[in-house]
A = this chain, B = another copy of it.
Amino acid sequence: MKLFPRWWQPAVLGLATALLFVPAAQAEAPQQKTQVPGYYRHMVGGFEVTALYDGQIELDTKILKQTPTEQIQRLLADMFRNNPTPTAVNTFLVNTGSQLVLIDTGAGRMFGNSLGNVVANLRAAGYAPEQVDAVLLTHLHGDHVGGAVDAEGKAVFPNAQLFVAKKEADYWLSQETMAKAPQEVQGFFKMAQNAVAPYVASGKLKTFEGEQELLPGIRPVNTRGHTPGHTSYLFESGGRSLLVWGDIVHNAYVQFPRPDTTIEFDIDQKAAAATRKRLFENAARQKLTVTGMHLPFPGIGNVRSEGKAGYRWVPIDYGPVR
C-alpha cells in the first residue's frame, strides 16, 4: 500500500529493509486481546448514569426501508462503515441516590452469544442485579427485555419492579394479538412473554399510561411507532436532563442523515419515521442530551441539525466522571 506521495519518502526507503535497531531481548509479553469493560459513567445533575454494553449485532441494510440501497451504501462508505453494520445494544443504569433504575435489560440469552453482557458489565461497574429497584422498558422486543430472565427463565432482577407502557404490554402479552400475527413474528411475542413471566407471577410487572412522573425525576415520553407502546424516559436532576430515547435510531450512519429511513421491525412505519423526525428536531433545537439503545456505545450525546444534509450524531467525549 502506498501511504504517502513519493516525494515524502527518503530515497533510501526503497532499498532499506535492514532495521536501524536490533530488537531488545526481553521475554515476550503475551497479547491480552481482552476489551475494556463495557460501562461508562456520566453524571446528570445528582443522577449517576452508567451506560452498560450488552454487545453488538450485525445489522444488514436490506432491512432498512424508504431510502434507496445505493444511497445507504454511499452513506455507510462516507463514514468508513460497511454492510452489515456492527450495531451496539446498550442499556442504562441510573442511580438517583435513592433508587437504582435500569432502562432496558439487553437480550440476555435470547439473541446468541454476541449479546447478553449487561449483567457482567453491571457487576464490572460496581453494582449487583439484586440492587436494582426498577427496570423501565422502552418496549418489549427481545433485545430490550430478554435480559430480564436467565437461561432457566428466572428473574435476573429479583427485587425490581418492571415498568412498561400499558399499550406495549397489551400488544405483546396478548395471546389473541399473537394468534393473529404472521407466523414469522410469533417469536417476538413469545420472547416478550417469557421475559416478563416471573415478574407477572410475582406481581411486579407495572403498566402505566400517560406521561406522569414514574419515580422522582423520571418520566416516560410517548414515542410510539417502532412498537405500539414504545416509550422514551426523561431524567431530570439539578437543572440537567437526559432523554433515554430507546429505538429511535437503529443505524446511526443512515438514519441521522436520512431520518425518513425506517426498519423492517417498525410496526407502524409512518409513525416511527414521524417520531424520529420530531425527536431529532427537538433534541437539536433544545440542545438536549440524549442516549439510545443502538447508538455507538456509550451512546450519549447530542443531535446536530445540518439542514439539507439531515442530522449528525455528536457523541460526548470520554472523560472523568463529572
Contact = CB atoms under 8 A, between A and B. Distances in A.
Given A36-B39, A304-B80, A214 B21 contact: yes
B26 A212 contact: no
Interface string A113-146: 0100000000011110001011000000000000
Contacts of A133: 23-24, 26
Interface stretch (A148-156, A261-269, A314-322): A314-322
A19 B213 contact: yes
B36 A41 contact: yes
A98 interface: yes
The main secondary structure of chain A at its interface with chain B is: loop
Residue of A5, A127, A210, A286 ringed by the most chain B CB atoms within 10 A: A210
Interface string A11-30: 01100111111011010110
A234 B9 CA distance: 13
Contact of A215 (B1, B19, B298): B19
Given A133-B24, A211-B10, A53 B318 contact: yes
Given A10-B211, A125-B32, A319 B86 contact: yes
B21 A215 contact: yes
A99 B24 contact: yes
A221 B10 CA distance: 10
How many chain A residues sit at the interface, stated as a range, is 35 or more
Contacts of A38: 318
Contact of A297 (B55, B243, B318): B318
Interface string A277-303: 000001000111000000011100110
Tally of this chain's copies: 2
A35 B41 contact: yes
Contacts of A9: 211
A300 to B, nearest CB: 11
A79 interface: yes
Nearest to A1: B241
Contacts of A214: 19-21
Contacts of A55: 320
A163 B20 CA distance: 11
B159 A26 contact: yes
A61 interface: no
A87 to B, nearest CB: 9
Given A26-B131, A26-B133, A79-B304, 11 more contacts: A4-B282, A16-B213, A19-B216, A24-B133, A24-B159, A32-B50, A35-B41, A36-B36, A80-B301, A88-B318, A88-B319
Ranked nearest first, the 4 interchain pairs of A and B with the lowest CB-CB distance are: A32-B126, A296-B317, A297-B318, A29-B131
